[in-house]
Amino acid sequence: MRTTQPKTIRLSEYTVPAHLVDTVDLRFELFDDGARVHSTLSVRHNPDSAETAAPLTLDGDSLKLERVALNGKDLAAGEYEETGEQLIIAGVPDRFELTVVTWIEPQNNTRLEGLYKSSGMFCTQCEAEGFRCITYFPDRPDVMARYRTRIEADKASCPVLLSNGNAVERGDLENGRHFVTWEDPFPKPSYLFGLVAGDLVEQRDSFTTGSGRDIDLRIYVEPRNAEKCDHALASLKRAMRWDEENYGREYDLDIFMIVAVDDFNMGAMENKGLNIFNSSCVLASQDTATDLAFERIESIVAHEYFHNWSGNRVTCRDWFQLSLKEGFTVFRDSTFSADMGSPTVKRIEDATLLRTAQFAEDAGPMAHPVRPAAYMEISNFYTLTIYEKGAEVVRMIHTLLGPELFRKGSDLYFERHDGQAVTTDDFVKAMEDASGRDLSQYRLWYEQAGTPQLTVSDSHDSEQGVYRLTIEQTIPDTPGQTDKKPQHIPFALGLLGANGEALPLIQDGSSDAESAPLEQVLELTEARHTFEFHGLPGRPVPSLLRHFSAPVRVIYPWSRDQLVFLMSHDPDGFNRWDAGQRLAVDVIQSLVGASEGTEIEPRLVEAYRALLGDSTLDQALVAKMLQLPSEAYLIELADSPDVAAIHHAREQVLQHLATSLREELIACYHRNSVAGNYELTPESIARRSLRNTALSWLLVINDETGRDLAVQQFQEADNMTDRMGALRALVNSDYAAERSKALEEFYAHFQDDPQVVEQWFSVQASSDRAGQLPQVNALLEHPAFDWKNPNKIRSVVGVFAGQNLAAFHNPDGSGYAFLADKVCRLDDSNPQIAARLVTPLTRWKKFAPAYGSLMRESLEQIRDKSGLSADLYEVVHKSLGS
């Protein structure tokens, strides 16, 4: 904990490590009151380093050093220096063996970095800089070593002892203790080290690789969760096959293990051969997990598995390159999920996240490029920009090169850099070398922060039959970056005729209507382009940025007629959905601050009526199209948003739609009530989604039929999606008695299942009816709430501040003061979580001054707390501009 300014680390100051480590021999003695870690490193001077006489410098954090020995000889106090953050030994030989013994206290580790205890089990989290909380080590990803790990613990309380690689030895020790030794043959950076010790049961399966090797698959969980592993195991096998078929990547060890832990700062971690997961991202059963959770688990299991190549076999040179592994791996898991379900729906989900949350990040005080140039605390850079925008940057290379050349590029990348720690530039270079394309301008996507804005205008010459489209590109200033250069942007375009037909894109007169494409990816490289399309006697309707072909904002003066037309005619499903969203946004925006009784666009009602009534349409897409733009998205789109006014306008539209479409909603509800067993197919997921949307709309208008249906569905549901759909609808209605009864019954039934209790907290904390501040405070006092458990904290405090926007932005500032108070409290126990939770306050400059000034005051309160962590220091000071 510090009060002084943490050091800024800069990419421009990167130097190769002065020392390399070839092997790491670890021995963990695990006890109830602490752990002793014996580490023996074979160290040599790095021939690529110019610092020939550099002292050996090892990182350490919160360690009690018990012994240091060089080539077997103990060093006396004066022969090394301990600074609090480093262990420095001067005058070391060219090659030597170093032994370090440290004492740590996993049972008191509330930061959940390094080795800690969760529900009685020992587990580790070493990315990004957690290994230094275990032992002194050059804790940077470009130091790659082979690890051998012996774990010793009490046999009764820790029958299962796991680490990376293959188990090579096991046996009993005195005093009821035992040991297992693991050996990982693949050199890896310290952030991929993993260890688990506890009383766990295993679920086993196997997978035969394309080359015929049998891989042992195991999921380790607490005994009460033994029945919740099937979905993750099935997802894992699908991911393994998919990576072979799509990237030619086979698994490389003989065993692949996943462990579920309840206390975890993030979603999951890709430790080599031993993935550690937040329980909520791996455990599922029909009774306890929603469809959304099932989909999320599949994608996270795949994500961590895909890291075995994109991250582990080829890793990052330094943490500025984080998106090298994260952006690429998110692109890979997103393509996988699209292949497993509906590509259009997956694209809609990805674009929604980008446009709502990543664009907001890119416009806020923490905006940074996909490859940042500086940071104080790397944990703050596990962001939507690194992950989601990073994935878009890889996706655009795929779009520009096409699937064959992209695959050639990824093959070259994996072959060329296997076993190395490399940079995003190496990735782009492999794509260039494989395709022969020049991506030098494209590299700006990695260097420049901010969301490009494309302003599109058009004109039509009916005599010449020419349609002209002009696209102007600007990239807004972001902290520390101004005067940005135009980026290389793939812009997918289609043109529609009056009857909705796709028109041939004849660009230069040389191609004729027969050979001209119906869709084209225009490549924008200049600040302004004009494209001409010929053979168009009537004015076409443009379908812009199809499939969301680039993470940019598009400004175009769509008329409501055009949007209604695109909603029902665009052959690109993504743009149909987008047109519906734009129409709804336009209607809601026009009501913000308008006088009561202002007419609500009848074309919106009719478009939704058509959607509800047409069972021939892809129902998964209809389910998405029925979702009104979220408050968060409306806020993101607004300048100086007045949250209460936006909330009110959106509610008005929702109520108007629900009132006008009541009959259709009831019909839609019944039409989608499927008898029979619960299935996880895209069709049944879509049906449940439609049914639950219909229910929630009916309860927005306090409809009695809707209420009865919700109560009945709640009681009869045979799966969590339906049970939660009904509960959510009741919680968001004015039927207070039914709401309380359902909440009580739900809790009574599921109180022993932490993942379900988290959902129960969330549904309340996100509700503008059940989640006002006094009720949220009451949730914090609930016996199931636990200030040490990140999932519980997120499900109440995080959900309240991030999803219950009208309550959080209460004009009296109480929501902001609440968050500031909780963030300060958490900073002492878990700085990573504190720094993430504070995010909503950091956007204070965007809001109307009445909100913004109160938000700033709360941030200042946090700034003035004594002993601020480096994590929180960086976020708060950058947000305040200090």
Nearer residue to ligand 0A1 within complex by CB, 60 or 450:
60
Q: How far is the CB of 627 from ligand 0A1 (least distance, A)?
A: 27
CA–CA separation, 858 and 852 (whole Å): 10
Instruction: Enumerate helices (H) and strands (E) in the chain, giving the number of each.
Output: 31, 32
Nearer residue to ligand 0A1 within complex by CB, 164 or 575:
164
CA-to-CA separations, 676 to 154, 292, 466, in angstroms, rounded: 48, 20, 56
Q: Are 719 and 680 in contact (CB under 8 A)?
A: no
CA–CA separation, 123 and 198 (whole Å): 8
Which of the choices ligand 0A1, Zn ion, none does residue 269 contact, using the CB cut-off of 5 to 8 A by kind?
ligand 0A1
- Choosing from 269, 506, 859, 870, the residue that interacts with ligand 0A1 (CB under 6 A) is 269
Instruction: Map residues 545-564 to x or -, x wherever contact with ligand 0A1 holds by CB under 6 A.
Output: --------------------
Among positions 803-862, residues that touch ligand 0A1 (CB under 6 A) are 832
Q: How far is the CB of 388 from ligand 0A1 (least distance, A)?
A: 12
Q: How far is the CB of 35 from ligand 0A1 (least distance, A)?
A: 19
Q: How far is the CB of 128 from ligand 0A1 (least distance, A)?
A: 6
> CB under 8 Å to 715, separation ≥6 — which residues?
none
CA–CA separation, 768 and 760 (whole Å): 15
Q: How far is the CB of 113 from ligand 0A1 (least distance, A)?
A: 6
- Choosing from 102, 190, 203, 265, the residue that interacts with ligand 0A1 (CB under 6 A) is 265
Nearest to 769 by CA among 795, 733, 805: 733
Instruction: Map residues 499-538 to x or -, x wherever contact with ligand 0A1 holds by CB under 6 A.
Output: ----------------------------------------
CA–CA separation, 722 and 290 (whole Å): 8
Nearer residue to Zn ion within complex by CB, 251 or 574:
251
Q: How far is the CB of 839 from ligand 0A1 (least distance, A)?
A: 16
Which of the choices Zn ion, ligand 0A1, none does residue 265 contact, using the CB cut-off of 5 to 8 A by kind?
ligand 0A1
CA–CA separation, 142 and 192 (whole Å): 12
CA–CA separation, 650 and 592 (whole Å): 8
Q: Are 375 and 654 in contact (CB under 8 A)?
A: no
Residue 579: its H or E element: helix 573-591
CB environment 643-657: b (16+ within 10 A), e (fewer): bbebbbbbbbbbebb
Nearer residue to Zn ion within complex by CB, 329 or 692:
329
**Ordered DSSP codes for 520-578:** EEEEE-SSEEEEEEBS-SSPPEEEESGGG-SS-EEE----HHHHHHHHHH-SSHHHHHH
Indicate whether 731 belongs to the interface with ligand 0A1 (CB under 6 A): no
CA-to-CA separations, 116 to 32, 137, 260, 790, in angstroms, rounded: 11, 18, 14, 14
CA–CA separation, 67 and 40 (whole Å): 11
Among positions 310-349, residues that touch ligand 0A1 (CB under 6 A) are 326
Instruction: Map residues 119-138 to x or -, x wherever contact with ligand 0A1 holds by CB under 6 A.
Output: ------x-x-----------
Which of the choices ligand 0A1, Zn ion, none does residue 529 contact, using the CB cut-off of 5 to 8 A by kind?
none
- Choosing from 263, 270, 349, 601, the residue that interacts with ligand 0A1 (CB under 6 A) is 270
Q: Are 297 and 401 in contact (CB under 8 A)?
A: no
User: Which amino acid, residue 428?
Assistant: V
CA–CA separation, 576 and 602 (whole Å): 19
Annotated active-site residue 29? The verdict is no
Segment interacting with ligand 0A1, rule: CB under 6 A, options 25-33, 263-271, 424-432, 803-811: 263-271
Which of the choices ligand 0A1, Zn ion, none does residue 755 contact, using the CB cut-off of 5 to 8 A by kind?
none
Q: Are 666 and 698 in contact (CB under 8 A)?
A: yes
Q: Are 122 and 195 in contact (CB under 8 A)?
A: yes
Nearer residue to ligand 0A1 within complex by CB, 316 or 776:
316
**Ordered DSSP codes for 72-118:** TEEPPGGGSEE-SSEEEE-S--SEEEEEEEEEE-GGG--S--EEEEE
Segment interacting with ligand 0A1, rule: CB under 6 A, options 33-41, 261-269, 279-287, 736-744: 261-269
Instruction: Map residues 285-304 to x or -, x wherever contact with ligand 0A1 holds by CB under 6 A.
Output: ------------------xx
User: Which amino acid, residue 564?
Assistant: V
Among positions 373-402, residues that touch ligand 0A1 (CB under 6 A) are 379, 382
CA–CA separation, 696 and 702 (whole Å): 10
Q: How far is the CB of 310 from ligand 0A1 (least distance, A)?
A: 10
Query: DSSP assignment, residue 137?
Result: B
Kindly report whether the peptide bond that precedes residue 584 is cis, defined as omega within 30 degrees of 0: no
Which of the choices ligand 0A1, Zn ion, none does residue 268 contact, using the CB cut-off of 5 to 8 A by kind?
ligand 0A1
Q: How far is the CB of 382 from ligand 0A1 (least distance, A)?
A: 5
Segment interacting with ligand 0A1, rule: CB under 6 A, options 248-256, 265-273, 681-689, 786-794: 265-273
Q: How far is the CB of 304 from Zn ion (least distance, A)?
A: 7
Indicate whether 109 belongs to the interface with ligand 0A1 (CB under 6 A): no
User: Which amino acid, residue 415?
Assistant: E
Q: How far is the CB of 315 from Zn ion (least distance, A)?
A: 12
Q: How far is the CB of 548 from ligand 0A1 (least distance, A)?
A: 22
CB environment 585-602: b (16+ within 10 A), e (fewer): bebbbbbbeeeeeeebbe
Nearer residue to ligand 0A1 within complex by CB, 125 or 342:
125
Which of the choices ligand 0A1, Zn ion, none does residue 127 contact, using the CB cut-off of 5 to 8 A by kind?
ligand 0A1
Segment interacting with ligand 0A1, rule: CB under 6 A, options 194-202, 264-272, 592-600, 854-862: 264-272
CA–CA separation, 107 and 135 (whole Å): 16
Nearer residue to Zn ion within complex by CB, 326 or 392:
326
- Choosing from 100, 261, 268, 505, the residue that interacts with ligand 0A1 (CB under 6 A) is 268
Nearer residue to Zn ion within complex by CB, 59 or 326:
326
User: Of the residues 152, 270, 298, 304, which is catalytic?
Assistant: 304
Among positions 327-356, residues that touch Zn ion (CB under 5 A) are 329
Indicate whether 266 belongs to the interface with ligand 0A1 (CB under 6 A): yes
Nearer residue to ligand 0A1 within complex by CB, 194 or 641:
194
Q: How far is the CB of 34 from Zn ion (least distance, A)?
A: 31
Q: How far is the CB of 758 from ligand 0A1 (least distance, A)?
A: 18
Among positions 614-643, residues that touch ligand 0A1 (CB under 6 A) are none
Nearer residue to ligand 0A1 within complex by CB, 116 or 608:
116
**Alpha-carbon torsion angle 259, 260, 264, 266, nearest 10:** 80
For 69, the 3-state DSSP assignment is: strand
Q: Which two tokens stand for residue 479?
A: 């902290």
CA-to-CA separations, 699 to 386, 505, 694, 734, in angstroms, rounded: 39, 47, 9, 8
For 796, the 3-state DSSP assignment is: helix
Segment interacting with Zn ion, rule: CB under 5 A, options 320-328, 546-554, 655-663, 687-695: 320-328
Among positions 478-507, residues that touch Zn ion (CB under 5 A) are none
- Count of residues of this chain found to bind Zn ion when the rule CB under 5 A is applied: 2
- Nearest to ligand 0A1 by Cβ — which residue? 266
Q: Which two tokens stand for residue 767?
A: 């509700």
Give contact residues for ligand 0A1 (rule: CB under 6 A): 125, 127, 265-270, 303-304, 326, 379, 382, 832
The catalytic residues are 304
Give contact residues for Zn ion (rule: CB under 5 A): 326, 329
